[in-house]
Every structure is written in structure tokens, then in C-alpha cells.
Amino acid sequence: MNLFRRCVILTHRYLGIALSLIVAMWFASGIVMMYAGGMPRLTPQLRLERLPALELSSVRLTPSEAAERAGLQGTPGRVVLLSVMERPAYRFVGGRSTTVFADTGEVLGDVSLAQSKTIVSRFMNLPEDQVQYDRTLTRVDQWTLGQGRQMPLYKFRVDDGSATELYVSPQTGEVTTLTTRRSRALAWIGTIPHWLYFAALRANQPVWYRIMVWTSTLVCGLAVLGLILGITQFRRQKPFRLAASIPYSGWMRWHYITGVVFGVFTLTWAFSGLLSMEPYAWTNATGLEVSRDVFTGGPVDLSRFSAMDPAAWDRLLGGRAIKEVDFVRIQDEHYYLVRHAPEDPAARRRERLHQPYNVTGRADPDRLLVTASTREVRREPFSVDSLVARLRTALPDVSLVEQQLLSEYDSYYYSRGQQRPLPVLRVKFNDPARTWFYIDPEMSQVLAQVHRLNRVERWLYNGLHSLDFAFWYSSPLWDVGMITLCLGGLASSGIGLLLGIRRLRRGAVRTASSLVGAPPVSEPGGSMSGSLR
């Protein structure tokens, strides 16, 4: 038994010396991430707010005419009318974006550096002399991780008091990323240390992935060993006295106490963090596959959209400025999906949730769906019967076991910031993967597709990592509980880091003393009564 205890003590000690800094960093940065969110980015809401209003009177071409001018073959994935360099333009998004100006039919080439500077100036509503060119990126930097396919990018600095930095794509003539001094600082003490999102490391995906998986695995082992020691080192006294049952003093005593109290949460957070990396591809089961055409009816026919009538659109929108128009097909009908100027940009909360499966779409009060044939606003959602009928037709060999229109979030489709659309149609199928679909009746599109292993991962990852249980997730109690637990874990790992530094210092002193033949100098600190320490 003594040999086992000694092995556990030594393993926990030296694993702790190696890992306590990163564990303490995870707890501290986790508190920051609760309120700062992820990496700095240009949010869809801010992009729409800063996007110039469309001058419909300058639109001379229809979408089909613009596609012909661009020489496009086939139907692009998305067609949108927006302002590019203060001019209306059609953007055809497929393998590569193609932009055609709607006033002349000219195809946009690469935007020059001077033009990009003007774009930034107008985006920020500042004179150009407050915009300074920084450099041209050909490889990702700290704030453009994940934008490798958009390279090159022009980077600009703005003299606006917030030290704003913006990145412009010469391919599209749009701002792709925006950071400020505050958002960068929060990222450096939040997301970057928490996820080890250091550009040099994160740019090498395989290496970054292995480091995250193996570090999380070792921390799980460290926490398990700590819990074992919490049990085996506890001394049962008769009569029972708690103070005498803890065989440590000084900082070691506090490390023991905080480890016993918060060790389980350290283990569950490390384990759930490991699962967020989806190691060993254990959730890669295949559920039901449904083509996008099931709900659209097929690709968009651009000839169904006629020339823009500025007066008619002004009456339809009550004078509100149009920012973007998407040309879409929904259930075999063609529509203009119109996004107008946000009525209350400050009212939108940023979503902080990272779900283990993809959830598309967001609640968007700043859009209208207008029928292409009649130019009437569609205000009613698509019927549940039509949505279910299309799913049944697409999956004729799979039995449907339940359909329900939800007016509130459930345990697998939810949002603390109320960012996900409601109501939502939930449809359950009896396939081997037990697939559930969440469908937006307003836009007739699948928002989430969740199979059985996704639902298991939801509880093992989000449930353990975010403690996002319905009974408290939307109340201030969640904040209090999470911060308390994080501070407890931070105290335990921080004390462990202190003890590790002291032990390394004593070892260095002993080594130096043995080399020069002098007696080692003892250092005060916590100790454990008994022979094992």
C-alpha cells in the first residue's frame, strides 16, 4: 500500500509541476471567456449596420443579366445584391466569389490598396488621413486564423482612440475582420490561452490538435490522481476531528483542501474540454442525410427576378434603407430575402455557446421575405405540414416517430442570448442513429441535425463544461456558480504551481550545493507529517 501511495504521490507531484500552470491558465481564462466570448471578429450585425444602403435607382441589371455578364456556368450557391465601393453590385458565391456591378455590368477585379483604404474610411465613418496601411497578409496572423483561403488581405490601423485594426479582402472589396485594443486584450487573456490559439501553433492544425488532446488527457490523469490522494491521505480520527484528519500544513494543507472540494470539477472540465476536440472521432457516426433542395425545391432560377423598382420597394419597406437582398428559392417559390438597417443594433447579444454539432441560422428581426412574383411580404411561416411532407418524401424508408413545434428551447437546441430562431419544428426519426431535425418554419430550412451520439456529446461536453442545465442556465445563479467553481479550481492549481516552483527551487539549490560541496539551505514551506512527502 505504501508503494502504491508513493507512486501516486510522485506521479501527481511531477505531473502537477509540469501542468499546473496550464490548468491555472485554463481556469482564469475560462472566467474571461464567460463574458468576452471568442476571438475578435466582425459580427454579422455590425457588418450589416456599417454596410452602405443600396441605391436601387442605380441598379440597371437584373440578376440573370449580371450572371450573363460574368459568364457564369451553372447556378451559384448564393446570389446577393449589396453595395461594393458605394455602388450596387451582384455577388455570386460559389467556389470563388464573382462580383458584378449592377449599374454598368463591370466585373470587379482585385481592389487596389488605395480603394481598400477608402473602404475602411467609409466603414469607420472617418477621414482617410486617420486610416494607416499596415501590411499585406499572405499568411494568417493572430486575428485571421481560419481565413487562410481568403488571402491575401490588406491590414489597416485606424486612429480612433480604440486602436481599431481592420482587414480588407481585395477579392471582394469588403472588411472581413475588425479588432480593437479591448477585444485583442480580452482575447489574449481569454480565448488564446484557453484554446492555445497562438498563431504559430494554431496555423499547424495537426500539431495544435495533438497538443490539445494530449494535454487534456494528462490533466484528466492529474485530477484523478489528486482525488485518489484526497481519499488515501485522509486520516480517520476517533473521536473525529477534521483538522487533525488532514496530514498537511501550510500551503500544502490548502492545496489538499481545495483539491478535495474542487477536484471533481477540475476532472470534469478537463474531460469535457478533451471531448470538445472530438478525439478518436468517436462521434463521427452518420445520421440521416437531407439535401438542401428538399426544402428549396431546387436551384434558384434568376430569370424569375425582374428589374428593381425603387419606388415600389420604398413603399414596401416604409422608407427603411435596404442593406442586402438575397435571391432565394423556398418550397418551389422564389423570394427576395431583404435585410434592412437594424432598428436597435445595441439590443443584440453575442452568443457565447460552443455546441458540439452545427447549428445554422439565427433570429433576425431585420429581414423581410418578399415574394418575387407579387412583391408582397410573406409574414406567415411555412406550414408544419409542408415541412414534414418534404421530409417524408426525402426519407420514404425511415419512420417518423414524433413531430413538435417548439415555442421554447429544449435541451439540444437552445441559446442563452436568445440568438436561435423560435418557434422551431423538431422532427424525430427512427433510423439507427435516432436522428432529430430542427427546422425553421419562417425560412423553411434545417437549423440542426442531431443524432444519438451528438446528444450524448452534448451532455458530456456542454453539460460538464458549461454546466448549461436548464434549471439555472438563464439566471444569475449560473454566473455565480461558474465563477465560484472556477476560482476554486484556480486556487487549487495556483497553489499547486506555487508548491511546484518551491520544489524546483529546492532541487536546484540542492544540486548547486552538492556541486560545490556546501550544505543545502532549507526553505520554509508546508509539509506533511509522516515519511511520504
Q: What is the mean pLDDT of residues 76-102?
A: 91
Q: What is the mean pLDDT of residues 453-461?
A: 89
243-287, pLDDT tens digit by residue? 667 888 899 999 999 999 999 999 999 999 998 888 877 667 777
6-34, pLDDT tens digit by residue? 888 889 999 999 999 999 999 999 999 98
Q: What is the mean pLDDT of residues 228-253?
A: 79
The number of residues making up the chain comes to 533
Q: What is the per-residue pLDDT for 530?
A: 38
Q: What is the per-residue pLDDT for 528?
A: 47
Q: Write down the residue that cell numbers 454596410 correspond to.
A: 51
pLDDT confidence band for 519 (50 / 70 / 90)? low
Q: What is the per-residue pLDDT for 531?
A: 36
Q: What is the per-residue pLDDT for 529?
A: 41
How many CB atoms within 10 Å of residue 122?
17
Q: What is the mean pLDDT of residues 82-96?
A: 91
The number of angstroms, rounded, from the C-alpha of 110 to the middle of its chain's C-alpha atoms is 30
Amino acid, res. 106: E
Domain ranges for the chain, please list them.
44-179, 293-450
Q: What is the mean pLDDT of residues 302-313?
A: 90
Asked if 457 and 275 count as a contact pair (C-beta separation under 8 A), the reply is yes
Q: How far is CA 295 from CA 114, 263, 300, 333, 382, in A?
A: 43, 49, 12, 10, 11
Asked if 201 and 210 count as a contact pair (C-beta separation under 8 A), the reply is no
Q: What is the mean pLDDT of residues 377-385?
A: 94
Which range, 93-97, 151-155, 445-449, has the best average confidence (pLDDT)?
Answer: 151-155
Q: What is the mean pLDDT of residues 145-167?
A: 94
Which ranges in 163-249 belong to alpha helices (H)? 181-189, 191-195, 199-202, 205-232, 242-245
What angle do the packed helices 2-36 and 181-189 form, to 10 degrees?
170
Q: What is the mean pLDDT of residues 153-169?
A: 95
Q: What is the per-residue pLDDT for 22?
A: 95
How many CB atoms within 10 Å of residue 407?
8
Average pLDDT along the chain? 88
Q: What does the buried/exposed string (b/e) look like for 72-97 if buried means 16 or more CB atoms within 10 Å of the residue's CB?
A: beebbeebbbbbbbebbbbbbeeeeb
pLDDT confidence band for 91 (50 / 70 / 90)? very high
SS3 content of the chain, % helix, strand, coil (to 5): 45, 15, 40
Residues of the chain with pLDDT > 70, as a percent, come to 91
pLDDT confidence band for 518 (50 / 70 / 90)? low
For 371, list phi and psi in degrees, rounded to 5.
-65, 130
